[in-house]
C-alpha cells in the first residue's frame, strides 16, 4: 500500500540547500512554481530559483531561473524547456522603486536556464537588495511571478558584513560523537509502540517521517503510516511502550511541530492533485483544531513561530505564517508576509544558506544583520538540517559527504567562531520529511535515526566548555 502522493512530474526528494534551509526537487529539477489552469496543461509554466539570501561585500550576484512549460502538442508531463523569458525587478535595500532587468538565456548552462546580473551598485548596497521576477512562456503567454507576493513581499538578499569566519578543513569521517542518551525507540510495524513502514518510489522505505521534543523533554514521533503520534515520556526507558495519540492525517510524508502546551501541528509536505499542501492542527489529545492550505505549491519544513505555525514554502523559499491565534491565513495574506529567515520572538529572524561548500548564517533584526558567520569546508556540503538560536549562540547542523559516505557536522557558534564542534552518524535508512532529522530543545540536540530494525531518537547535550 502506498499513501504517498505524487507531484505533477515526480515526487519530492531532498537534494541540498539553496533557499534558506533546503531545496526540494521535482524528479531532477529544483523546486518549481506552477502557473496556469490545471485543466489546460498547455498553459502550464514552472520556474525554479535559488535566492542568494546572504552575499559578501564585493561579490558579483547573478539571479538564475530554470523555466519549464508545456508547449502545445508536447507531453505536458515532460517538463521540457520552452521558449520563455521575463524580467527581474531589483532595488537596493527594501524600499523605493524597482529597476527592471530582462532575463537572458544562459548558453553555458542547461537548456531552459535564464539569468540576470544584479547591477553592482545594487548588489553592493550595505542594506542588501530586494527583487522579484515575472516570467513568461512566449509559446502560450502564461506568466508566473516568483515569489508570488511580487513587489509586496519580494525576495530579500542581505550583505553579510563583519561575519565571523570559521575554516573547517577536511571532515574526518568515522569519528562520530556517541550520544548522551537514547531517549526513544520503536520497531517497524503496526502494533502497540511500533512505527509503520511503507515502500516509497523505487522501493525506498518510508517511515517515522518527523518528530519533535516538548519543553518537558517528551519525545513525539509522527507515525504517519498508522495515522498517530507516539509520545515517549521524559526519563522513561527508550524501549517502553509509548502513548499513542491518533491524528487525522492523510498518511503521507509530513513534518511535525509540538507547541509548549502539547498541541501538535502537522505539515503534509505534498499536496493532493492540484491542491497545495495542508497544515493540520491538533490539541495534545489529537482532537482536530483546524486545517489550512499553504500558499505555495510545495513546503518542506514547519515551525511554531511567535504567532502560530509557519512553513518554509517554495518556490518563494520563504517562511510564511499559515495561521495566527488559531485562524488560518489566506494565500494572499501568507504571500505578502513571507520572510527569508525563520521568524524569532521580537521580530528578528535567523537566515541560513549554503553557497557551494560554504555555510552562511545571519541573525537579522529590523535594521539589518546583527551577527553573522561564514563556515568554509574542504569536504562537500549538503543541506542545512537545522539552524537555531541557543541563548547568545547559534547551533547549526549540516550534512557532509564524499563518494562513499556521509555524516552530519554539528557546530555551536558564538561571537568568536566555533565554541563546539562534533560529528554524528547520519543514521538514515527510512525516508523522512526533508528537514526533520534534528531538533533543539533547551541545551540538547536530538536526532531522529533509523535502521532496518526500527526508529530511534538520540540526545546530545551541548554544554560548551572552553
Q: What is the pLDDT of residues 324-380, one digit of tens each?
A: 988 999 999 999 999 999 999 888 999 999 999 999 999 999 888 999 999 999 999
Q: Read off the pLDDT band of 43 (50, 70, 90).
A: low
| Domain annotation covers residue 232 | no
| Domain annotation covers residue 145 | yes
**Which structural domain, as residue segments, surrounds residue 26?**
12-158
Between 293 and 82, residue with greater pLDDT: 293
pLDDT digits (tens, 9 = 90+) for 92-120: 999 999 999 999 998 777 677 899 999 99
For 113-128, what is the mean pLDDT? 94
- The distance from CA 90 to its chain's CA centroid, rounded to whole angstroms, is 25
DSSP 334: H
CATH code where residue 138 lies: 2.60.40
Question: Which three cell numbers mark 188?
Answer: 517497524
| Domain annotation covers residue 233 | no
The predicted pLDDT at position 326 comes to: 84
The predicted pLDDT at position 273 comes to: 77
User: Which has the closest alpha carbon to 157: 29, 55, 301, 30?
Assistant: 55
The predicted pLDDT at position 39 comes to: 46
8 Å CB contact between 316 and 336: no
| Domain annotation covers residue 73 | yes
| Domain annotation covers residue 146 | yes
pLDDT digits (tens, 9 = 90+) for 147-195: 988 999 999 999 999 999 999 999 999 999 999 999 999 999 999 999 9
| Domain annotation covers residue 45 | yes
Residue 58 clears pLDDT 60, i.e. is over it: yes
| Domain annotation covers residue 141 | yes
Task: Look at the chain and report how many structural domains it folds into.
Answer: 1
Helix (H, G, I), strand (E, B) or coil at 272: coil
Q: What CA–CA distance (Å, rounded) separates 53 from 128?
A: 9
8 Å CB contact between 422 and 410: yes
DSSP 431: B
The predicted pLDDT at position 367 comes to: 86
User: Which has the closest alpha carbon to 221: 452, 436, 453, 462?
Assistant: 436
Q: Read off the pLDDT band of 72 (50, 70, 90).
A: low
Residue 19 clears pLDDT 60, i.e. is over it: no
| Domain annotation covers residue 245 | no
Percent of the chain residues topping a pLDDT of 90: 69
Between 42 and 49, residue with greater pLDDT: 49
Amino acid at each position: 500500500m502506498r499513501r504517498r502522493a505524487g507531484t505533477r512530474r515526480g515526487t519530492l526528494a531532498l537534494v541540498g540547500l539553496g533557499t534558506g534551509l533546503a531545496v526540494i526537487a521535482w524528479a531532477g529539477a529544483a523546486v518549481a512554481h506552477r502557473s496556469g489552469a490545471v485543466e489546460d496543461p498547455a498553459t502550464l509554466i514552472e520556474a525554479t530559483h535559488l535566492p542568494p539570501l546572504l552575499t559578501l561585500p564585493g561579490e558579483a550576484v547573478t539571479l538564475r531561473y530554470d523555466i519549464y512549460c508545456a508547449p502545445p502538442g508536447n507531453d505536458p508531463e515532460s517538463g521540457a524547456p520552452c521558449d520563455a523569458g521575463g524580467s527581474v525587478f531589483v532595488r537596493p535595500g527594501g524600499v523605493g522603486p524597482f529597476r527592471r532587468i530582462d532575463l537572458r538565456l544562459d548558453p553555458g548552462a542547461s537548456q531552459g536556464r535564464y539569468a540576470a546580473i544584479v547591477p553592482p551598485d545594487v548588489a553592493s548596497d550595505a542594506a542588501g537588495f530586494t527583487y522579484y521576477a515575472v516570467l513568461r512562456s512566449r509559446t502560450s503567454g502564461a506568466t508566473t511571478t516568483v515569489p508570488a507576493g511580487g513587489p509586496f513581499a519580494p525576495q530579500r538578499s542581505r550583505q553579510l558584513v563583519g561575519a565571523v569566519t570559521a575554516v573547517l578543513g577536511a571532515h574526518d569521517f568515522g569519528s562520530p560523537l556517541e550520544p548522551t542518551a537514547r531517549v526513544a525507540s520503536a520497531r517497524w510495524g503496526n502494533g502497540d509502540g511500533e512505527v509503520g513502514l511503507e515502500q516509497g518510489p523505487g522501493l525506498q522505505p518510508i517511515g517515522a517521517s518527523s518528530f519533535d521534543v516538548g519543553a518537558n523533554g517528551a519525545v513525539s514521533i509522527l507515525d504517519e503510516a498508522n495515522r498517530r503520534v507516539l509520545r515517549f515520556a521524559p526519563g522513561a526507558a527508550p524501549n517502553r511502550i509509548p502513548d499513542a495519540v491518533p491524528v487525522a492525517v492523510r498518511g503521507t510524508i509530513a513534518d511535525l511541530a509540538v507547541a509548549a502546551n502539547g498541541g501538535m501541528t502537522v505539515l503534509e509536505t505534498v499536496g493532493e492533485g492540484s491542491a497545495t499542501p495542508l497544515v493540520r492542527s491538533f490539541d495534545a489529545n489529537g482532537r482536530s483544531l483546524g486545517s489550512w492550505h499553504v500558499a505555495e505549491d510545495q513546503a518542506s519544513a514547519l515551525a511554531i513561530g511567535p504567532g502560530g505555525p509557519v512553513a518554509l514554502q517554495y518556490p518563494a523559499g520563504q517562511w510564511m505564517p499559515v495561521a495566527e491565534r488559531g485562524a488560518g491565513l489566506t494565500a494572499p495574506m501568507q504571500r505578502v508576509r513571507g520572510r527569508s529567515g525563520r521568524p524569532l520572538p521580537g521580530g528578528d529572524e535567523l537566515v541560513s544558506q549554503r553557497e557551494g561548500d560554504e555555510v552562511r548564517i545571519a541573525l537579522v533584526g529590523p535594521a539589518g544583520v546583527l551577527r553573522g558567520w561564514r563556515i568554509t569546508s574542504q569536504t562537500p556540503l549538503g543541506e542545512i538540517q537545522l539552524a537555531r538560536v541557543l541563548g547568545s549562540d547559534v547551533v547549526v547542523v549540516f550534512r557532509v559527504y564524499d563518494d562513499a559516505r556521509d555524516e552530519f557536522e554539528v557546530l555551536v557558534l558564538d561571537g568568536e567562531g566555533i565554541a563546539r564542534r562534533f560529528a554524528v552518524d547520519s543514521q538514515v535508512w527510512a525516508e523522512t520529511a526533508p528537514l526533520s532529522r534534528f531538533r533543539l530543545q533547551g541545551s540538547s540536540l536530538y536526532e531522529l535515526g533509523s535502521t532496518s530494525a526500527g526508529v530511534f531518537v538520540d540526545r546530545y547535550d551541548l554544554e560548551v566548555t572552553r
